[in-house]
Amino acid sequence: MNRFAFRIAVLCAACSFSAAQAQQKITPPVATYWVSADTASGLPMGGGAPSMMDLGRMMLGGGDAGGAARSLLLELGSQRAAGGTPAAAHEIPPGLRMGASLPLESPQRVRAEPREDGQPEQFERPRGRLLIFWGCGEQAGPGQPFIVDFARLAQGEWPQGLFSRRVNLQRGPSPARSKTYGEWPNARDSQRVPSDASLRGDHAVRGNYTPDIRFSLDRHDFMDAVALSSARAGAATRLSWNAVAGATGYYASAMGGRDGSEDVVFWSSSTSREFGEQLMTWLPPAEVTRLIKERVVMAPATTECAVPAQFVAAAPMSFVRFIAYGDEANFVHPPRPKDPAAVWNQEWAVKVRFKSTASAMLGEAAQAAPRSRSRGAEPAAPAEGAPAGGSGLPSPADAVQEGIKALRGIFGR
């Protein structure tokens, strides 16, 4: 056989093997378990990057700057019904320093009653506009800002091109997709994750509605904290951060307002117009790689980004949120059969995913915060018209809160 014929034979054999693999019958896992780990620095962020409503609360004085915090979200979904009351627990390694196990509680399903007008509960008709900026640079690019009138949007007049990109988000276990579901934290146990906790070691999940799950983490652990800082660069603001070990990419966004204005101003580090919460969560490494190629996410070698002067002028009171995407660890039991003709009956699948997030005040907010929140200082008196117990920050917080309500109501987030 000559060399050309040999190559053809090898190629055909590879194609036949790939076709057989693609045709292998696979039954989905009985149980799916996700461990979502986050390292959060800067302003308090609960179990991860703050939601839009969290931003509003922080602007009204609901949080203080602090060190990095670690958090976990554990989600177990099974296609089995529980033998009696659902019961499951995650047996954790000693390095996590949270006891021997964490209980996975099945939440009570409560159906929210819709309002008579069809809008979500606590929805208020929006006012003002949404101004969207994007891109790293001291000056905003052409076509900016993209303007959305809240009142027209609420009436069903959607601006063309408001959402410019589809992000492939992961769909993990949930009560809606599981016969039985358990999660942590919960009402029974919501203890804080220690700042020096480690996920390395042996893990096991047992319960009366799931097969026994066992996996081990050796090189995967909580990510390092993001050290996010900002400095004025002329009329712009320059963000900088440390190179986070293991990060697959970075993304930043900011939202704010101006005193006396009802406009909500949004900016993202993407080179194209992006808006929404879809990029401020865990993303699989392959999706991050795709978004880096499309210049939506910043490459892991990037350590600075300038927020344009036009955004800073339109939103002198603003908050920036930052995310460093991390790696994943995936386990399936039993392993895939080598014989493509054998059925792969999966018993369980585990995904452990990581991110590191940060949140900080920019502009006038960053200058006002130390004066009103320095350690040991008395709280500053609220500004005229500010809510009782607030931080004394001026009324752009009200504009941002109004925009948050509008966005949550209109976009269903």
What mean pLDDT is reported for the chain? 79
Identify residue 86 by its one-letter amino acid code: P
pLDDT in tens, 333-344: 999 999 989 999
What pLDDT sits at residue 399?
Answer: 45
pTM: 0.78
Residue 284, pLDDT above cutoff 90? yes
Task: Assess whether pLDDT exceeds 70 at residue 23.
Answer: yes
State the virtual CA torsion across 50, 256, 157, 170 in degrees, nearest 10.
-20
| Proportion of the chain above pLDDT 70, given as a percent | 69
Tokens of 342: 């054998």
Read off the pLDDT of each residue in 277-286 and give the average, rounded to a whole number. Answer: 92
From 30-39, 77-86, 92-101, 126-135, the region with the lowest mean pLDDT: 126-135
92 has which bridge partners?
Answer: none
Joined together, the tokens standing for residue 63 give 């949080």
Cβ atoms of 323 and 4 closer than 8 Å: no
Sign of CA dihedral 76, 78, 84, 89: negative
Residue 210 pLDDT > 90, yes or no? yes
Residue 302: count other Cβ atoms within 10 Å of its Cβ: 16
The Cα–Cα gap between 195 and 97 comes to 10
CA separation for the pair 63, 391 (Å, rounded): 9
CB distance 239 to 268 below 8 Å: no
Token pair of 409, please?
């109501």
Choice among 252-256, 337-341, 402-406 with the minimum mean pLDDT: 402-406
pLDDT tops 50 at residue 308: yes
Least confident range of 18-22, 42-46, 235-239, 372-376: 372-376
Instruction: Please report the pLDDT score of residue 166 as a whole number.
Output: 79
C-alpha to C-alpha distance for 44 and 68, rounded to whole angstroms: 9
Burial readout 91-121 (b: 16 or more C-beta within 10 A, e: otherwise): ebbeebebeebbbbbbeeeeeeeeeeeeeee
Q: To the nearest 10°, the Cα dihedral for 180, 182, 187, 191? A: 170
Long-range contact pairs involving 52-57 (C-beta distance under 8 Å, separation at least 24): 52/255, 52/277, 52/404, 52/407, 52/408, 52/413, 53/404, 53/408, 55/255, 55/319, 55/321, 55/400, 55/404, 56/397, 56/400, 56/401, 56/404
* Domain boundaries, given as residue ranges, for the chain: 25-109+124-411
| Mean pLDDT within 326-330 | 97
Q: What is the dihedral of CA 391, 397, 401, 406, to 10 degrees?
A: 180
Range 235-239 average pLDDT: 95
Nearest 5 degrees, angle CA 132-CA 134-CA 138? 120
Lowest-confidence pick of 162-171, 174-183, 195-204, 379-388? 379-388
* pLDDT top residue among 365 and 239: 239
216-231 pLDDT, tens digit per residue, is 999 999 999 999 999 9
The whole-angstrom distance between residue 39's C-alpha and the CA centroid of its chain comes to 11
Give residue 317's pLDDT: 87
Q: What is the pLDDT of residues 182-201, one digit of tens each?
A: 999 999 999 999 999 999 99
What is the model's pLDDT at position 305?
97
Interatomic CA distance for residues 255 and 321, integer angstroms: 9
pLDDT digits (tens, 9 = 90+) for 149-170: 877 766 666 666 665 567 888 8
Q: Are 31 and 331 in contact (CB under 8 A)?
A: no
Category of 248 on φ-ψ map: left (φ > 0), alpha (ψ -120 to 50) or beta? alpha
Average confidence (pLDDT) over 397-407: 49
Q: Per-residue confidence at 115, pLDDT binned at 50, 70, 90? A: very low
CA distance 270 to 249: 12
What pLDDT is recorded for position 267? Answer: 95
Alpha helices in 91-245 (DSSP H): 150-154
Residue 56's pLDDT band, with cuts at 50, 70 and 90, is very low
Torsion-angle region of 105 (φ positive above 0: left; ψ -120 to 50: alpha; else: beta):
beta
Q: How confident is the model at residue 383 (pLDDT cuts 50, 70, 90)?
A: very low
Q: What is the mean pLDDT of residues 9-37?
A: 73
Indicate the range of 6-15, 259-268, 372-381 predicted with least confidence: 372-381
Q: Vertex 11, ends 8 and 16: CA angle to 5°?
A: 125
For residues 388-394, give the mean pLDDT. 38
pLDDT band for 275, please (50, 70, 90 cuts): confident
Whether the pLDDT of residue 396 is over 80: the answer is no
- The reported pLDDT for the residue numbered 274 is 82
- Average of pLDDT values for 95-110? 91
